[in-house]
Amino acid sequence: MTNLNKIEKSALFMRKKILEISHNCGISAHLGGGLSMVEIMAVLYTHVLKIDNSNPHWPQRDRFILSKGHGVLGFYSALLVAKIIDEDEYSSFQTNESNLIAHPVMNLDLGIESSNGSLGQGLSMGIGIALGAKIKNKSFKTYILLGDGECDEGSVWEAVMLAPQLNLDNLVAIVDYNKLQSDGDKVIDLGDLASKFEGFGWDTYNVDGHNIERLLEAFEAEHVNNKPKMIVANTIKGKGVSFMENDNAWHHNLLTKNKYEAALEELKENYGN
């Protein structure tokens, strides 16, 4: 039975921890896109993913790839919730010799399956992993989280066309559709993303990316006709902090002491302790 309250509490904890290390690192951090993906990651790491937090190298683990690498704050906080990394490791973010920097660097000891810098590569990598699992009759699934901005990349659409033709019903992709990119919201209008993915043959779900119940329904639904699954999660950049929400200045910004305290107070008022 799904514990919705546990997932909601995990999401709130993650938001607080994202703000904490963003402030403590003393330099600008990718806040907006990390906050928009919190519910997605909370659902994945508290309920969906088949993982063993005591053995990140477990061969039968589900694989998670963060394709929108600048969303590391949402990723690292999920690894903390899942007890794959501890508080000391988490708090080292952006400090000298830390394993946790502004984009993920592959480190299976810490549950990080892939490195990321340039956008548009994660879905192709995930297809390769999922195809390998099919060939070797492995039961694990592969999950990829993309940003809507990187969906401007041609490599994403090559991968989108390929996956259904390979009958990868062990592949799940999620788009964090917050409708803002680092260069603004008028770069390329992606429009109805769900219809586009469906047209290419994906088993597609269009959901509120902050609604835990709707996310769970999409993740738990059976794959149809051996198709890969695509979840278009409609989100708000900077979700949870009103002065960050839908403000692209917070794609990458410095969280001062005053702003940090104001953000924490707002979370307390809106979500409780």
Tens-level pLDDT at each residue, the chain (273 residues) = 568 999 999 999 999 999 999 999 999 999 999 999 999 999 999 999 999 999 999 999 999 999 999 999 999 999 999 999 999 999 999 999 999 999 999 999 999 999 987 899 999 999 999 999 999 999 999 999 999 999 999 999 999 999 999 999 999 999 999 999 876 656 788 889 999 999 999 999 999 999 999 999 999 999 999 999 999 999 999 999 999 999 999 999 999 999 999 999 999 998 876
* Apex 249 CA angle, 208 and 28, nearest 5: 105
> Burial letters for 195-211: b for 16+ Cβ neighbours within 10 Å, e otherwise?
ebbbebbbbbbbbebbe
> Residue 244 has what pLDDT?
97
Query: Token pair for residue 32?
Result: 């907006």
d(CA 69, CA 122): 9
Q: Cα 28 vs. chain centroid, distance in angstroms? A: 20
* Contacts for 206 with CB less than 8 Å, ≥ 6 apart: 193, 194, 232, 234
d(CA 81, CA 42): 8
Indicate the length of the chain as a whole number: 273
* Contacts for 273 with CB less than 8 Å, ≥ 6 apart: none
CATH number for the domain whose boundaries are 4-271 = 3.40.50.970
**Contact at 8 Å (CB) between 78 and 15?**
no
- Nearest CA to 36 out of 222, 200, 176 is that of 176
> Residue 231 has what pLDDT?
98
> Residue 189 has what pLDDT?
83
Q: Cα 237 vs. chain centroid, distance in angstroms? A: 13
Q: Which helix (H) or strand (E) is 134 found in, with range?
A: helix 122-135
Query: Token pair for residue 157?
Result: 């659409």
d(CA 84, CA 55): 9
- Nearest CA to 142 out of 221, 204, 229, 53 is that of 229
Q: Count how many Cα atoms sit within 13 Å of the Cα of residue 115 in the half-sphere of its side chain.
A: 6
Q: Sheet containing 171-177: which strands, arranged edge to edge? A: 63-66, 142-147, 171-177, 229-234, 203-208
> Residue 168 has what pLDDT?
98
DSSP helix/strand/coil, 115: coil
Sign of CA dihedral 30, 32, 37, 39: positive
> Residue 114 has what pLDDT?
95
Question: How many other C-beta atoms are found inside a 10 Å radius of the C-beta of residue 122?
Answer: 25
DSSP helix/strand/coil, 73: helix
